[in-house]
Amino acid sequence: MKAPAMRYLLCTALCLAVLPAHAEDARTPLTLSATEAAAVNEEMRGFLEGVQEISRGLADNDMKAVAKAARALGMAGANHVPMSLRKKFPMAFKQMGHATHMGFDNLAIDAEGLGDTGHSLQQLSETLQNCNACHASFRLVAKGK
Ligand code: HEC
């Protein structure tokens, strides 16, 4: 075999080895109306904003700010989700959502009571595992209004 052909073959083999065979989305689709999907996404962006505020507070050793931001992401915030929407959530989705809100409530309580940034960071990391677990399991599909 000539050198250029050999190089071409080697290149193709390398590409095939490096690229994933098929980037299929194995997450469970959760079908909601466009309005409901927008509401879920809005809550999500609120989560990310809150996580930013918590990490800012931890960096500044401002535990009052940490507690305030965490509490806003706790169960009190979760209750704003309308029942009609909550009923559409599968059990696993509800459980991970609940664990996330509870995690932030615990973070708020301990940030105020203990004032220990290391402990709060540990709690933040544990709570964030719920975000990742749910994101790995579900995707939203918006249908209709
Ligand atoms: C109970 C499930 C669940 C939990 C818990 C969860 N998410 Fe999500 N999140 C989703 C789903 C589903 C989507 C849509 C993903 C898709 O369709 O690809 C999403 C989307 C998002 C988006 C994109 C929003 C947009 O406007 O496009 C952000 C940001 C986000 N999540 C942040 C977070 C953070 C931060 C946490 C944890 C503090 C979190 N989420 C916890 C289910 C969850």
The sign of the dihedral angle between the CA atoms of 50, 54, 55, 60 is positive
- pLDDT for the residue 111: 98
- pLDDT for the residue 9: 65
Average pLDDT in the 7-35 region?
76
Average pLDDT in the 17-25 region?
68
Separation between Cα atoms, residue 107 and residue 48, nearest integer Å: 15
Position 79, amino acid: N
Q: What is the pTM of this model?
A: 0.87
* Ligand 1 center–CA 33 separation, angstroms: 16
Q: Of 20 and 29, which is predicted with more confidence? A: 29
136 lines ligand 1 (CB under 6 A): no
Residue 45 CA, closest ligand 1 atom number: 29
104 lines ligand 1 (CB under 6 A): no
**Token pair belonging to 49:** 């904003």
Separation between Cα atoms, residue 10 and residue 45, nearest integer Å: 45
Residue 58 has pLDDT above 70, yes or no: yes
Contacts of 115 (CB under 8 A, 6+ apart): 63
143 lines ligand 1 (CB under 6 A): no
Residue 56, Cβ neighbours under 10 Å: how many?
Answer: 13
Separation between Cα atoms, residue 34 and residue 68, nearest integer Å: 31
Residue 25, Cβ neighbours under 10 Å: how many?
Answer: 7
The CATH number of domain 42-142 is 1.20.1070: no
* Ligand 1 center–CA 13 separation, angstroms: 37
- pLDDT for the residue 23: 73
3-state SS assignment for residue 42: helix
pLDDT band at 145 (very low <50, low <70, confident <90, very high): confident
